[in-house]
């Protein structure tokens, strides 16, 4: 039950991120999560949006370079130990977290984390065994 992440490669120039987010907003695409990484030459905006196909089409038409990556969204109890419990299960099962960022939702009592992990099969098995809820696109309101 992975979800789709769009990674957009950005020039390191003032206003580039604002331009991309405005473009998506003007086309009624809701950014539900975003993480920015940078190097000296370019940045990468990793995004979860409500309509991945629409966003991809808009960004490609704009001339942006992008890629789609499967990532996993997991439900994390909204308490001090919630995230530590999830990450401990992954560590105990020798599953590396390549990167992680939070996902905005409207439900109370839970946080949601987007994970890029090293071993999808092991992750699914470990999550199910530990009772970690893996969220689907539909459950998150994504198309």
Each domain of the chain, given as residue ranges in start order, spans 3-69, 71-135
Architecture per CATH, domain 3-69, reads as 2-Layer Sandwich (3.30)
Helices (H) and strands (E) in the chain, counts: 4, 7
Please, what's the b/e burial string for 31-53 (b: 16 or more CB within 10 A of its CB; e: otherwise)? Answer: bbbbbeeeeeeebbbbbbbbbbe
20-73 pLDDT per residue, tens: 999 999 999 999 999 999 887 889 999 999 999 999 999 999 999 999 999 999
d(CA 110, CA 78): 5
Give 71-135's CATH code, choosing from 3.40.50.300, 1.25.40.10, 3.40.50.150, 3.30.70.260: 3.30.70.260
CB 113 within 8 A of CB 100: yes
Return d(Cα 19, Cα 35) in angstroms, integer: 16
Tens of pLDDT, residues 84-132: 999 999 999 999 999 999 987 766 667 788 899 888 999 999 999 999 9
């Amino acid at each position: 039950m992975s979800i789709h992440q769009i990674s957009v490669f950005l020039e390191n120039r003032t206003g580039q991120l604002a331009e991309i987010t405005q473009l998506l907003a003007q086309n009624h695409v809701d950014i539900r999560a975003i993480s920015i990484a940078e190097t000296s030459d370019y940045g990468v905006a990793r995004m979860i949006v409500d309509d991945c196909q629409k966003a991809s089409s808009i960004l490609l038409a704009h001339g942006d370079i992008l890629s789609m990556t499967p990532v996993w969204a997991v439900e994390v109890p909204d308490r001090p130990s919630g995230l530590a419990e999830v990450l401990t299960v992954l560590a105990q099962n020798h599953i590396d977290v390549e990167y992680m960022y939070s996902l905005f939702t409207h439900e109370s009592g839970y946080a949601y984390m987007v994970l890029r992990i090293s071993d999808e099969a092991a992750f699914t098995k470990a999550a199910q065994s530990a009772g970690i809820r893996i969220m689907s696109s539909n459950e998150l309101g994504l198309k």
